[in-house]
Amino acid sequence: MVAKRTVSEVGEFGLIGRFTEGRVQPVSTLLGPGDDAAVVAAPDGRVAASTDVLVAGVHFRLDWSTPEQVGRKAAAVNLADVAAMGAVPTALLVGLGCPPDLPADVAEQVAAGLWAEASRVGAGVVGGDVVSAPALVVSVTVLGDLRGRAPVTRAGASAGEVLALAGRTGWAAAGLALLAAGRETPPGPVAAQRVPEPPYRAGPAAAEAGATAMIDISDGLLADLGHIAEASGVGLDVRSSALPVPPELAEAAAELGADAVSWLLTGGEDHALAATFPADAALPDGWRVIGRATPGAAVTVDGEPYAGPAGWTHFT
């Protein structure tokens, strides 16, 4: 049996060669990896940009996820951020910190996961940096194209508008609870924890359909709706009947003695999109009404404050 080579043995330039070899860049990549900077098309004269960092032991565990899943998740959480502005992702840049004794294959599979997820939306991995670090760190910056539209911020909602959701909530939180309990079934939530499935195309579609405010649900539905409420100066009321408990979450909750409704309302990491639309707007495919914007200032469920932790914040 041959010992696997470490990132230290393969070296910085060897790793970069492995990450970039054979990759096909989209046409929006005007200059790809290999120079001091990449050059990416920004056809309408603006670029949307966001950064999210994933750290081993904090955001993922290599005994719970494959390196390829880690790469896909790192890409997904970023791609969802530009989608939430109504933009179409064009490029990822990746800062990869690796312990020197990490098998080079692991780093390579993280890169493969980043590429796999980026390719789903037509984006390329256009550049990055590989450094030594005490833990595996995947810092991703995503660029996106607004296609001539105004960005859909958190600040445009008005009372009387409908509140809508694209994608799902509670699945990744249920998967985390299952993995923490040493379980791998039901498989749906576990898979959702390993790799989220953000509704990327629903972001630009919502912008096109006149969404007035939009956010990526990363920390939990109620917590992230709180950001729209605060930025827009509105209340947001979620109708619980619009969020039925899916069978797999009911099964997971029964197995763990947990509360599936709490997962739906406060679980993070699924990267659904929530948006407000004018009351008479025709919602695009993938969007469903889950409530409405009100004259208040709070996020409520069926008109009442929700009694429970609202979601995830770092360091607290």
Beta bridge partners of 300: 237
Question: Is 219 labeled as ligand-binding?
Answer: yes
For the CB of residue 96, give the shortest distance to a second copy in the complex, in Å.
Answer: 8
Judged by CB under 8 A, the chain residues 199 through 218 that form the site for a second copy are 214-216
Which residue number, 186 or 220, has a Cβ lying nearer to a second copy? 220
With binding defined as CB under 8 A, does residue 40 bind a second copy?
A: yes
How many chain residues are in contact with a second copy, going by CB under 8 A? 78
Cα dist. 244→177, 253, 271 in Å? 20, 14, 18
CB of 210 closer than 8 Å to CB of 281: yes
With binding defined as CB under 8 A, does residue 141 bind a second copy?
A: yes
Sheet containing strand 137-145, strands side by side: 124-132, 88-98, 137-145
Beta-strand runs (E) in 99-174? 124-132, 137-145, 162-166
* CA neighbor of 310 nearest in space, from 169, 157, 154: 169
Question: Is 218 labeled as ligand-binding?
Answer: yes
Question: Is 50 labeled as ligand-binding?
Answer: yes
Question: Is 8 labeled as ligand-binding?
Answer: no
For the CB of residue 108, give the shortest distance to a second copy in the complex, in Å.
Answer: 14
With binding defined as CB under 8 A, does residue 166 bind a second copy?
A: no
CB of 227 closer than 8 Å to CB of 211: no
Which residue number, 177 or 213, has a Cβ lying nearer to a second copy? 213
For the CB of residue 249, give the shortest distance to a second copy in the complex, in Å.
Answer: 26
C-alpha–C-alpha distance, residues 288 and 305, integer Å: 22
With binding defined as CB under 8 A, does residue 258 bind a second copy?
A: no
For a second copy, the binding residue among 23, 39, 183, 233 (CB under 8 A) is 39
C-alpha–C-alpha distance, residues 147 and 122, integer Å: 14
With binding defined as CB under 8 A, does residue 58 bind a second copy?
A: yes
Judged by CB under 8 A, the chain residues 79 through 138 that form the site for a second copy are 80-82, 84-85, 87, 91, 93-98, 100, 126-135, 137
For the CB of residue 186, give the shortest distance to a second copy in the complex, in Å.
Answer: 29
Question: Is 144 labeled as ligand-binding?
Answer: no
The owner of tokens 């195309």 is: 201
With binding defined as CB under 8 A, does residue 151 bind a second copy?
A: yes
The owner of tokens 């729209």 is: 228
For a second copy, the binding residue among 18, 23, 26, 46 (CB under 8 A) is 46
C-alpha–C-alpha distance, residues 99 and 97, integer Å: 7
C-alpha–C-alpha distance, residues 301 and 304, integer Å: 5
Which residue number, 20 or 253, has a Cβ lying nearer to a second copy? 20
* CA neighbor of 207 nearest in space, from 118, 120, 284, 293: 284
Residues at the binding site for ATP are: 128-129, 154, 218
Residues at the binding site are: 36, 50-52, 59, 81, 128-129, 154, 216, 218-219, 269, 312
